[in-house]
Amino acid sequence: MLRLMTGKAGRSGFGSASTAEQVTHGIDATNLTAIVTGGASGIGMETARVLALRNAHVVIAARNIEAANEAKQLILNDNKNARVDVLKLDLASLKSVKAFADAFIALNLPLNILINNAGIMFCPYQLSEDGIEIQFATNHLGHFYLTNLLLDKMKETANSTGIEGRIVNLSSIAHIHTYKGGIRFAKINDKSGYNSKRAYGQSKLANILHANELSRRLKAEGVNITANSVHPGLIMTNLFKYSGVWMKILKFFTCILWKNVPQGAATTCYVALHPSLEGATGEYFVDCNEFKPSRFARNEVLAKRLWDFSNKLVNAAEAS
């Protein structure tokens, strides 16, 4: 907490006050291609901007194509040499996820970095077009499916280039505030007992469990790809549109703990690009430093169960 309040650097040399530009200073990503979901606004856009600034070829994956193209233009205004593409992606629709993956593969680009950044928060109860609770569907299942669809491309790229691939899942400290048992497997779509805050925490817990189980599988396969999760920090972005007045009041009394957008994108960019993290996988990062997540997040049995459960949901949607 003291580090968060003071911005004091941790073992990595960076802390809560570090910005995305600072943690990537001097890094040349010319040979890298990255996908950033939700790169049209907020910390996703800042992540895309900084990756492009470091010469990576960035593909912004976004539901709102108009906003994504505006983000692209802002990045180009700042950096005329930036390589930025835009593709449509609605993570709440598995058909859209498949269409995005197909469109990306058709570009015949390599894929070194996948940043699963997009998300929604504290939504009223509703189901996705695939009949899945919307926060779980958008924050976890869409990214789970997307990652699986792009994994062969990442393996091919890592193998042909010798460059380590990196997958980064944006989670949240909110993963500690979830339902009893961690994940409501038997009641994932049940309106009874639905709580928007716990549903969000459940989806963020799923992000960590997904990265951990994916890391374990990649290591067992001997693949040169890492998978980690991060907590970006408390940042007032469009995610808070469902939060109401109470969140504004909370921010007023806890203002010293909140970050700006450049600081919020720092941990993502650090984990995606920094050479000191070569080989680091299955870890959870806060303020650009490794951090011990909740007991549920460290549960390997829960991670494997979530993996199988997620596959069943995807398979059922594909068959319908």
Per-residue pLDDT reduced to its tens digit, 91-127? 999 999 999 999 999 999 999 999 999 999 999 999 9
155 phi-psi bin (left φ>0, alpha ψ -120 to 50, beta other): alpha
Length of the chain: 320
Q: Residue 170's pLDDT band (boundaries 50, 70, 90)?
A: very high
Cα separation of 141 and 207, whole Å? 9
The first and second tokens of residue 264, run together, are: 């919020």
Q: Which residue has the higher pLDDT, 245 or 19?
A: 19
The first and second tokens of residue 149, run together, are: 């669809």
pLDDT at 254: 45
Q: What digits encode the pLDDT tens for the residues 220-248?
A: 999 999 999 999 998 754 444 444 554 55
Angle 169-174-177 from CA coordinates, rounded to 5°? 130
Residue whose pair of structure tokens reads 């968060």 in the numeric block = 4
Residue 75 has pLDDT above 60, yes or no: yes
pLDDT at 2: 46
190 phi-psi bin (left φ>0, alpha ψ -120 to 50, beta other): beta
The first and second tokens of residue 215, run together, are: 């890391």
Catalytic residue status for 145: no
Evaluate whether 269 touches 17 at the Cβ level (below 8 Å): no
Element housing 83 (H / E): strand 83-88
The residue among 183, 100, 90 whose CA lies nearest residue 129 is 90
Cα separation of 231 and 59, whole Å? 22
Residue whose pair of structure tokens reads 């009874």 in the numeric block = 192
From 125, 145, 179, 194, active-site residue: 194
Cα separation of 278 and 229, whole Å? 15
Taking every pair of C-alpha atoms in the chain, what is the biggest distance, in angstroms?
52
Cα separation of 277 and 13, whole Å? 13
The residue among 120, 291, 284, 286 whose CA lies nearest residue 197 is 120
Cα separation of 159 and 196, whole Å? 42
Q: Helix, strand, or coil here: 28? A: coil
Residue 130 has pLDDT above 80, yes or no: yes
Full set of structural domains in the chain with CATH: 2-314 (3.40.50.720)
Residue 154 has pLDDT above 80, yes or no: yes
Edge-to-edge strand order for the sheet containing 83-88?
83-88, 57-62, 33-37, 113-116, 165-170, 225-231, 284-286, 289-290
Question: What DSSP state is assigned to residue 281?
Answer: -
The residue among 81, 101, 205 whose CA lies nearest residue 145 is 101
Cα separation of 235 and 42, whole Å? 9
281 phi-psi bin (left φ>0, alpha ψ -120 to 50, beta other): beta
Element housing 285 (H / E): strand 284-286
What average pLDDT does range 4-21 have in this prediction?
85
The residue among 173, 174, 171, 170 whose CA lies nearest residue 122 is 174
